[in-house]
Amino acid sequence: MKAIVQSEYGSADVLRLEEIEKPIVTDNEVLVRVYGAGVHAGDWHLMRGTPFLTRLILGGIIKPKITTIGTDIAGQVEAVGKDIKQFQTGDEVFGDLSECGFGAFSEYVSVPETALVHKPANLSFTEAATVPVSGLAALQALRDYGEIQPGQKVLINGASGGVGSFAVQLAKGFGAEVTAVCSTSKIEMVKSLGADYVVDYTQSDPTKPAQRYDLIIDTAAYRPFSDFLEALAQPSQKEITPGGTYVMVGGATSEFFRAMLLGSFVERFKAKASRRKVKCLISKPNQADLTVLKDWIEAGKLKPFVDRAYRLADVPTAIRYIEERQVKGKVAISI
């Protein structure tokens, strides 16, 4: 089978399309013929081996242990092991391979059934493949970390990106009033997702809004999280209720670790941030949440915005496009 492989860390130039052995399905795995794959920032982190913590967690200090990257897939079940209960040959599926070896940029993968759910019937394979990682991050940031409630005012920074484009739609579905932050060229795209208000960050500072927000989802954290604290709702003095919540989802690695290390300190000791919450998302792939996304999609309440789709051989070009940070929504690979 054909797959994108790498034997060293580096730019997209280290990726090559090669013929490798087709995986053999084991008793507790599902063999999937991959028809679509999603591309996101995590792919170039794996490709480059940065931050260095990536190498420590996933193995391969000098050279990559994971030679075929890629996390999101959609495809058709070609074979199942004898212990498989949830799927059968011919089923259309999609899933997240981040906890079972990666390898989405290939024609076949053999993975545990817990990494997959049935594909939404109203999406193509290419569209469905862009959902898992970004969709799960948006869902968990809003529901689990942000504890979103109907009627809340929610600010989504980086609303035109992969996670942000899902977060806008999901926040609206949860009944929130959504303000989306993006650049001038992406305003119409973000409006089409259902945002109530749009802030063009090239024209005004989203950290100094006219109103305060109950929840801020920051998918483009390239500035200190403390800049956004004054944009959060203040805690009530009469009622013992907390202030707003800031959830960092993606952005600069330095800011992510700064928020992880200092977030609780800010909550506890900085007077103006008293009872405001600072959290860093660590997304957890699971079938239950993938099924939630599937149900929302089939109900017409959620849809991926696919900017571009590339062939398998063009994965390096797709990742270069991701690195430019000009993507609207998601980038897909059609296999």
**pLDDT number for residue 225:** 81
Residues 139 and 274 occupy one common structural domain: yes
Q: What is the CATH number for 114?
A: 3.90.180.10
Q: Is residue 49 part of a domain?
A: yes
Q: What is the mean pLDDT of each run of 10 residues along the chain (335 residues)?
A: 97 98 96 97 91 84 95 98 98 96 97 98 98 98 97 97 97 98 96 97 89 94 81 71 84 50 50 67 95 98 98 98 94 98
**pLDDT number for residue 273:** 44
Residues 142 and 247 occupy one common structural domain: yes
Residues 94 and 146 occupy one common structural domain: no
Residues 33 and 19 occupy one common structural domain: yes
Q: Is residue 215 part of a domain?
A: yes
**pLDDT number for residue 53:** 82
Range of the domain at 145: 134-280
| Residue 143 one-letter amino acid | R
Residues 191 and 321 occupy one common structural domain: no
**pTM as predicted:** 0.92
Residues 126 and 138 occupy one common structural domain: no
Nearest to 108 by CA among 134, 152, 70, 165: 70
Residues 6 or more apart whose Cβ sits within 8 Å of residue 123: 74, 131, 297, 303, 304
**pLDDT number for residue 113:** 97
Q: What is the CATH number for 203?
A: 3.40.50.720
**pLDDT number for residue 251:** 57
Residues 44 and 151 occupy one common structural domain: no
Residues 111 and 213 occupy one common structural domain: no
| Residue 163 one-letter amino acid | V
Q: Is residue 207 part of a domain?
A: yes
Q: Is residue 288 part of a domain?
A: no
Total tally of structural domains belonging to the chain: 2
Q: Is residue 151 part of a domain?
A: yes
- Cβ atoms of 97 and 115 within 8 Å: the answer is yes
